[in-house]
Amino acid sequence: MTENTPLYRTIADTLRREILSGGYVVGDPFPKEFDLCDRFSVSRHTIRSALSRLEQEGLLKRNKATGTVIRSTEPSAAFIQKLASVDDLLQYPVETRLDPKSLDDIKADEAVAEWFEAPVGTPLSCIRSVRSRIDDGMLLCWSEVYVRRKYAGVFDEVGKDTRPLYRIVQQLYEIEISRVEVELGSVLMMNPEAGFLMVEEGTPALRVLRRYYERDGSVFETSVSLHPQDRFNYKLTFSNEPADD
């Protein structure tokens, strides 16, 4: 691990080793969140992030009523996402454009720092915008894109053409993208974002978090987009293949 590795990943690695070492059996209760907070001297948010990572790996099963238990003591086979290109991660039915609403220089809070695998307070720039379809003007999503401050010049190009922002960064700064991580979740739209998309506050929405990595392993951009129901179609193809050692 590097010195910039976020705490939740370091904690997840420690807990994973303990699970795989044979100290537990399937069905055993796992330590409670507040006990783990005390053990590692971190916030509950950090512990929840670590536990979510282990749950995604199939090692833990979390339930609000019964608590967290051991689901497996062996690493699971990996499902590998097959994509023709990075652009396949943006699967809008027609060409779209961004309408920028604001640009701010910020310092990463705990959540954003975890997205970038960087220390809290890391200087970043954030553009908030609305994405719409070119042909009929339909408002598709609210978008917040964060980039490292050294790439802030990209925002002068936003809205000038249909290229996604990560592609503009790549071309302007000659970045080689090594991988992209995507997380999907559900939220309720709140104002002012709901107002920009002309939907009622409380409307269900798909939340898509994308993280773009450079060849050196660092995250250069993170985007969070909120898509009101019925305005987004996401299709993935998976194959069951052995995970790399």
For 43-77, write each residue's pLDDT tens digit.
888 898 888 888 877 888 887 777 899 988 876 54
Same domain assignment for residues 135 and 207:
yes
Same domain assignment for residues 26 and 137:
no
- CATH code (residue 66): 1.10.10.10
Same domain assignment for residues 138 and 226:
yes
Query: What are the pLDDT digits (tens) for 178-187?
Result: 888 888 888 9
Same domain assignment for residues 61 and 93:
no
Enclosing domain of residue 37: 7-70
Taking the chain, what is the end-to-end CA distance rounded to the nearest angstrom? 17
Q: What is the domain count for the chain?
A: 2
pLDDT at 23: 81
Same domain assignment for residues 11 and 94:
no
- CATH code (residue 223): 3.40.1410.10
Q: Is 120 helix (H, G, I), strand (E, B) or coil?
A: coil
- Whole-number average pLDDT of the chain: 81
> Average pLDDT for residues 177-204, to the nearest whole number?
89
Question: Phi and psi for 32 in degrees, rounded to 5?
Answer: -70, 160
> Average pLDDT for residues 2-15, to the nearest whole number?
77
pLDDT at 236: 57
Q: What Å distances lie between residue 220 and 24, 89, 147, 162, CA to CA?
A: 38, 17, 6, 20
* 27 contacts 70 by C-beta, under 8 angstroms: yes
Q: For residue 80, is it within any domain?
A: no
> Average pLDDT for residues 192-196, to the nearest whole number?
91
Q: What Å distances lie between residue 221 and 163, 176, 189, 241, CA to CA?
A: 15, 12, 23, 29
* Amino acid code (one letter) for 242: P
pLDDT at 186: 87
